[in-house]
Amino acid sequence: MYALLLACSEPSPVDDAKGGEDGTTSPVDDGAVTWEGLPDEEPLPMLLDADGVAGALDEGFARLVGMDAGRLDENIAATWARLDRDGPCPEYYGANIGSDYTYEDWWSGGCVDPDGTAVDGYGQRTTASWGGEGSAGSYATGYFEGTITSPEGWKAGGFGYYYLEEARDTDGQSVWRYLIGELSAEAADTDGSWLERSAGYAMSGGAWWDRWGGVWMAVDGNVPLEGDAVAFSVLGVEAYSTSWGYPCPGEYAGTWSVRDANGWWYVVDFDADEYETDGTCDGCAEVLVDGVSIGTACPDLEPMISMEVIAW
C-alpha cells in the first residue's frame, strides 16, 4: 500500500512578505509580489571636459580621413607585395581590357600562399589612363571583400569599394582629383598579440580637390582612439570651398561624437549650414551629453578644412 500525503503548498509568499532589505521588493494589495528592480546606481564619471572633447575631435578626424597613411595600409601593401602572383594562391590574373589603356587586376582566394600568407575573399581593380596634348588623366576603381593574414599573424579583413579619378597636366601635376568610396575593416598589427591593436574602421564619403582652391569633402564613419577617449564618430560631416559658396570656413557641418572609456558619448552638432541665418560660424559648438550641455568645444578644424591632414 502506498500512502502518499502531499502537504499543502507552503504559506503564500505574501503571508510573510517583508520586502527585500535592499528595498527592491514589496507586497502589493492583491497578494502578488512586485519586482521593483535593482537599487539605483551611481553612474560612472565622465572622463572628458569640453576641451578634452575638442582635442579628441581633432585626433579622431585626422585618423579617420588619414587612415591610408597608417599602419593599415602599410601592412596591406607589404602583405600584398609578398603574394606569389604566379602561384596557385590567390588565383590571380591581370589583363588589358577594352583598350590598351584599361587594365584589370582580379584575384580570388581561399587558401594559403607558399610563404604562409592566407588569403580569403576576392577583389578587383580596374585602372585606365589617357593622355594627349595638353592633358592626361587616369582613374582607378576597385572592390574587395576578404581577409589577408600574414605569416607573422598580421591580419586585415574588410570590404569596400572606391573610385578615384585624377586629371594631370602635361607636366604630370594634378589638376583635379576626385574620390568616393566606402571602407569597413578590422585590422591588427604584429605588436604582441594581434588582438592588442585590433580595431574597426568604417567610413564612407567622398572628396574633391582642384588646383584652383576648390575642395569638397563629405564623410560618415568612425574610428577607435586610445586613452580616455576611446572612439570617434561622425555623421553627415561636410564642407566645401568658400569659393564655391560654402558659408563657414571655420566649421564643418554634421554631428561629431566622442566616446570616453566609461561609456559616455559627447555629441557636438556643428551648425555651419545654419550660418547664413544665425551667424554662429565661429568654429565652436556645444558639447552635449545625454542632451545636456557640458560646455563648448572649439576644435582646430582649419587643417581639416584645408585638407592638410587628408592623405588622399
Partner 1 sequence: MVILLLACAGDPAESRRPSEDSGAEEVAPAQMDAERLLVRLSLDLRGVRPSPAELDAVKADPTSVDASIEAWLADPAFERRMMELWAVPFRTRLDDYPGGADVFGASSEARFQAAIGEEPLRLIARVAADDRPWTDVVTADWTMSDAVLAEVWPVDYPDGAEGWEEVHYTDGRPSAGVLSTNGMWWRYGSTIENYNRGRANAIARVLLCDDFLHRPVSFSRTNISLESDSLLEQTQTDPNCTTCHVAVDPLGSYLFGFTYYDTAFVSPTYNFAAERDWANGTTIAPSYFGEPGDGLRDLGRQVANDPRFVSCAVETTWTGLMARAAVGGDFDTLSDIRDDFILGGLKMKDVVRRVVADPRYRAADGTVADGAPYKLVPVELLASQVEALTGFRWTFYEYDMLGTDLYGLRLLAGGADGVYVTTPATQPNTTLLLVQSRLAALAAGYAVEHDAERADPLFDVVAPDVEPTDEQLLAQLRSLSLRVLSQRASDADVADAAALWEAAYVDSGSPSEAWALALTLLLRDPALLVY
The three grid cell numbers given for residue 124, joined into one nine-digit string: 578587383
Q: Which is nearer to partner 1, 2 or 212 (CB)?
A: 2
CB atoms within 10 A of CB 221: 22
Given the complex with partner 1, which of 9 and 99 has the nearer CB atom? Answer: 9
Alpha helices in 237-310 (DSSP H): 275-278, 302-305
Q: Which helix (H) or strand (E) holds 93?
A: strand 91-96
- What the block records as the C-alpha cell of 70 is 597608417
d(CA 191, CA 155): 12
In whole angstroms, how close is the CB of 296 to partner 1 at the nearest point? 21
Phi-psi label, residue 94: left if phi above 0, alpha if psi -120 to 50, beta otherwise: beta
Residue matched to cell numbers 578634452: 52
Shortest reach from residue 270's CB to partner 1, in Å: 15
Which amino acid type is present at position 28?
A: V
Nearer to partner 1, 67 or 215 (CB): 67
* Minimum distance from residue 3 beta carbon to partner 1 (Å): 5
Positions that interact with partner 1 (CB under 8 A): 1-6, 8-9, 12-14, 17-18, 20, 25, 32-38, 41, 44, 118, 120-121, 145-147, 149, 153, 155, 157-159, 184-186, 194-195, 198-202, 220, 222-224, 230-233, 235, 255, 257, 259, 261, 263-265, 290
Rounded to the nearest whole angstrom, what is the least distance from the CB of residue 166 to partner 1 in the complex? 27
Closest separation between CB of residue 276 and partner 1, Å? 25
Cα separations in angstroms, 134 against 42, 174, 279: 69, 13, 44
Determine the Cα–Cα distance for residues 90 and 144; give it in Å rounded to an integer.
13
Least distance in Å: CB of 206 to partner 1?
A: 16
- Residue 203 Cα distances to 61, 141, 174, 277, angstroms: 11, 17, 25, 30
